[in-house]
Amino acid sequence: MFRWAWERSRTRGLFTASGGTPPTPVAHAVRHPRADASDCAITWVGHSTFLIQVAGLNILTDPIWSRRGAPVQWAGPKRYVAPGIPFDELPSVDVVLQSHDHYDHFDDWSVRAIARAHPRAHWVAPLGVGTRLAARGVTTITQLDWWQDHTDDAFRVTCVPAQHFSGRTPWDRNSTLWGGLVLRTGALTIYFVGDTGFHSGFTDIGDRCGPFSVIFMPIGAYAPRWIMQPVHVDPDEAVRAYQALTVAHAAPLPAMVAMHWGTFVLTDEPLDEPPTRTRDAWRTAGLPSEKLWIMAPGETRVVRF
């Protein structure tokens, strides 16, 4: 981190913005109170936060509505685009998938607000993260180790490996687990990748948990590579990961929903570079254009099945 700060300060200034244009929000089309049982509607709130409405459930991923992805709201990475769904316009939340405890994924204000407004929501998280959730008022929590399942009446969740790290202070590094979460409900299997670097386990995840209907894949916060490569995929690696996840299964291919970009400036690449590079890598790989979803904040798309 010291080397990164030193090199950045010499080349363009430590606090100089990375540049680029944030995505333009659109009006959401959230289903109230729920989507039809035969429908799957996905709305991007921003960063890695989505509302997934499927099989009569309202599911959130890594919820963050705060102005900054940081321990305090007067410093740290600021939000460049307002949440695609205002918090007060959320339907009743049934399930929250929490991938790890970093500030841009595990947001103190959002966790507490959901615990108050949606006290019956069932949170599923990797080992250790549940203690942090309970401290903020969450009452229904399932913690999972890698490859461990939880089965409910309406869904099943598997925690799968990711190459990342955890911690909210300099003194608690890797004290909690991190991971991706695969949710199965009805005819759909949804893989929320969370945060990860590229690793050899993607093929195994595809073999054991696929075929997938939708894959939520991070594409941003990757530069410079000498520091970010172990923990964040870049667009080329995101496409390679998608291919590894789907190689064992016949068509139809799942949609890849791009996330972890366009909301906070966490690293050195321009804000709007990740989707451009992802489209280029997708095209180079010869994958069908309709299967890559680069959404706008607030945009709602429907999975056909």
**pLDDT, tens digit (0-9, with 9 covering 90-100), for 196-226:** 999 999 999 999 999 999 999 999 999 999 9
* pLDDT higher than threshold 80 for residue 15: no
Question: Who's near 228: CB < 8 A, 6+ residues apart?
Answer: 221, 222, 234, 267
Cis? peptide before 86, omega within 30° of 0: no
How far apart CA 2 and CA 86 sit, in angstroms, is: 37
pLDDT for 19 equals 83
Q: In terms of CATH architecture, what is 23-302?
A: 4-Layer Sandwich (3.60)
Structure token digits, residue 75: 């410093």
Instruction: Write out pLDDT tens, residues 116-130.
Output: 999 999 999 999 999
pLDDT for 262 equals 97
Domain residue limits, the chain: 23-302
- pTM, 2 dp: 0.96
Helix/strand/coil for 294: coil
Question: Who's near 100: CB < 8 A, 6+ residues apart?
Answer: 106, 126, 129, 162, 164, 166, 176, 177, 178, 179, 194, 195
Question: Who's near 241: CB < 8 A, 6+ residues apart?
Answer: 193, 196, 198, 202, 217, 233
Q: In what order do the strands lie in the sheet with 156-160?
A: 149-151, 156-160, 180-185, 188-192, 214-218, 255-259, 292-293
Q: Whole-angstrom distance between the N-terminal and C-terminal Cα of the chain?
A: 45
User: What is the C-alpha R_g of the chain?
Assistant: 18
* pLDDT higher than threshold 80 for residue 18: no
Instruction: Write out pLDDT tens, residues 31-88.
Output: 999 998 888 999 999 999 999 999 999 999 999 999 999 999 998 899 999 999 999 9
